[in-house]
Structure 1
């Protein structure tokens, strides 16, 4: 169960990372003169709200982080940092959406403002994902017990998010398919490429 749950979390990170990679790629292409694809950019920002912010992060907070805090105080500072970063990510995306509208409307300097914030956001999220995988998950493997992994696994395999009474799964899948369809090929990140599922699984 432990290995399965860790793989689920890493697969979700891979899907999120692929979208972040695409955002960074598009920004660098636009800086070089490629015309903006506003449909794709909007789909990317909508996906980040729908999937990481409304689906993935809340489950980490409520189940993974909470289980670690129950078992040890060794990671209190790290968990507090990661929880704070979850809180900071959503306002950054809302601001990015505002800057995208200004960019699309042709406001003076809005393109550069969008580029700069997008690059900063991608770096912020990648650092966050790496901290979870390199620092938190190894500690979780050491301190959590089978009961913890069963609860976490059930939450991450769920098709809706009971914390908010919403079902973002289908919305996220639709947005992810849109991104895959519109994004320049190949879309990918790190050692592999994502599947067509927003969880990174077939």
Structure 2
């Protein structure tokens, strides 16, 4: 049986991975060309990461999925604790990255290497985090959670409606997603 929660988590992981890889590609391209990156696009991408994965996605994993798995799969408790710690530090990590981007934009080339290194650390960390969830947590949830677990989680995750997973953006976020789609190269957007 397919559970909406698992489908949504996987779709959101794919969208975030594409966003992170696009961020890395943009930095590599600007470095190779010896130009400044599109700071507006980078700010928009980091804001998206802060608004959707950090605030919606992680919160629901931590509050809904992980507690149920702790009950049903005690052998996963150390992994779940580590993932929760990642979630707790995620908001601070994105703020540090946004600050490093601002420093690069305001201070110029003297801050490029610092921002690029911070971005690559964040991307590597996040992709590894999602890999753990995909390879350990989601299969365990599929195997061990009960129908009553899925009902509440499915309803909660279905409310996420992340536009990068194909949903129509809320009016509040429409300008952000229009900006990202128009400026970002594939696989995220339509830009060059």
| TM-score bracket relative to the smaller structure | 0.7 to 0.9
8 Å Cα contact 1:50/1:172 also seen in 2: no
- RMSD across aligned positions (CA): 2.1
The DSSP-based 3-state class of the residue aligned with 2:74 is: coil
TM-score (norm. length: structure 1)? 0.82
- String of CA shifts for 1:13-64, please: whole Å, max 9, x gaps: 1111111111111111122124310100100111111001111100000011
* Residue in 1 that maps onto 2:139: 138
Q: In proportion to residue count, which structure has more helix?
A: 2
8 Å Cα contact 1:71/1:143 also seen in 2: yes
* Residue in 2 that maps onto 1:5: 5
Q: How does 1:33-182 map to 2 (within 5 A)?
A: 33-107=34-108, 109-158=110-159, 171=172, 174-182=175-183
The DSSP-based 3-state class of the residue aligned with 1:119 is: helix
User: How many residue pairs are counted as aligned between the two chains?
Assistant: 181
The CA distance in 1 between the partners of 2:159 and 2:57, in whole Å, is 11
The DSSP-based 3-state class of the residue aligned with 1:104 is: helix
TM superposition outliers: structure 1 runs of 4+ over 2 Å: 1-5, 106-109, 168-178
- String of CA shifts for 1:94-113, please: whole Å, max 9, x gaps: 11111111111125621110
Q: Does 2:162 correspond to 1:183?
A: no
Structure 1 gaps of 5+ residues are 161-167, 189-193, 195-202
Deviation of the 1:142 alpha carbon: 1.1
- String of CA shifts for 1:53-81, please: whole Å, max 9, x gaps: 11110000001111111222121011011
8 Å Cα contact 2:72/2:145 also seen in 1: yes
Structure 2 gaps of 5+ residues are 162-168
Deviation of the 1:3 alpha carbon: 3.2
TM-score (norm. length: structure 2)? 0.86
* Residue in 2 that maps onto 1:28: 28
